[in-house]
């Protein structure tokens, strides 16, 4: 928007310079004619016609001042139209931003499926395949092919991107408040990360790739979801495309 306004103002300035130059040239021509007329012998007026004297310097100055005043009014009108256009453009951008936010809010509860494949193990109590005792499986195991891309289930901000001995390469995304609850998702056992801590991501962005790092027996994505910090079933939010 600033570049467009600068361009319009530059064109207005060029128009004023061109008009002023034209007026100066016109004034010089008039003064030259007046001086030339003063050097010539006086002509006898034709019978029945009145003698016309060349305009005086004062008259030429008044004419030039009137022309400049008119040019100034034209420039002022053009500048006002330019500011009005910029204002309308700004209003359009604000309206588009508001509509985008409305669309985002309407789609917050619609989480995208994070990677190819089905659910091999859901949320709930189970015997851990490595530790050998029963405990809460705090998430859903999805997919099974190492190297498959993993997508952000919903837009948000990456609050963790690193490695731990149990989760392997893992990412956590904060999705802010959804239906009155703070919602986060976590993606575990990745082979490689594709985002960094603090990065803003959109739903559907690639954030990493399926792997089997950490406490894992095979390639898969462990997707966890947290509501106000407590584990919850991510399948309540996910929608298959």
The Cα–Cα gap between 111 and 179 comes to 14
66 and 134 fall within a common domain: no
Task: Give the Cβ contact number of residue 156 at 10 Å.
Answer: 21
182 - beta bridge partners?
177
Q: Percentage of the chain with pLDDT > 90?
A: 42
CATH code for the domain of 156: 2.70.70.10
Q: Which domain holds residue 34?
A: 2-106
- What tokens does 202 get? 């959109």
176 and 211 fall within a common domain: yes
32 and 56 fall within a common domain: yes
- Is there a contact between 167 and 221 (Cβ–Cβ < 8 Å)? no
Domain count, the chain: 2
> Tens digits of per-residue pLDDT, 175-213?
999 989 999 999 999 999 999 999 999 999 999 999 999
- What does the pLDDT average to over 44-69? 74
Q: What is the dihedral of CA 227, 231, 233, 236, to 10 degrees?
A: 0
39 and 68 fall within a common domain: yes
> Tens digits of per-residue pLDDT, 61-104?
888 888 888 888 888 888 888 888 888 888 888 888 887 766 66
pLDDT of residue 211: 97
- What tokens does 107 get? 């789609």
With 0.95 as the threshold, say if the pTM is over it.
no
In sign, the C-alpha dihedral spanning 64, 70, 74, 79 is: positive
225 and 119 fall within a common domain: yes
């Amino acid at each position: 928007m600033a570049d467009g306004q600068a361009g319009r103002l530059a064109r207005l300035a060029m128009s004023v310079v061109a008009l002023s130059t034209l007026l100066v040239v016109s004034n010089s021509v008039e003064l030259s004619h007046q001086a030339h007329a003063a050097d010539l012998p006086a002509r006898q007026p034709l019978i029945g016609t009145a003698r016309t004297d060349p305009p005086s310097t004062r008259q030429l100055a008044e004419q030039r001042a009137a022309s400049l005043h008119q040019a100034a009014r034209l420039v002022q009108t053009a500048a006002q139209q330019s500011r009005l256009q910029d204002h309308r453009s700004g209003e359009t951008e604000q309206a588009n931003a508001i509509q985008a936010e409305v669309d985002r809010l309407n789609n917050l509860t619609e989480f995208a499926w994070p990677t190819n494949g089905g659910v091999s193990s859901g949320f709930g109590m189970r015997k851990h395949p490595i530790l050998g005792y029963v405990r809460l499986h705090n998430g859903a195991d999805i997919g099974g092919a190492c190297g498959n891309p993993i997508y952000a289930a919903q837009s948000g901000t990456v609050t963790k991107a690193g490695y731990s001995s149990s989760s392997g390469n893992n990412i956590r995304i904060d999705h802010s408040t959804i239906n009155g609850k703070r919602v986060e998702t976590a993606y575990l056992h990745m082979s490689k990360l594709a985002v960094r801590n603090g990065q803003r991501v959109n739903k559907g962005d690639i954030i990493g790739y399926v792997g089997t790092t950490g406490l894992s027996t095979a390639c898969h994505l462990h997707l966890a979801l947290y509501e106000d910090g407590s584990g919850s079933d991510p399948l309540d939010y996910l929608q298959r495309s």
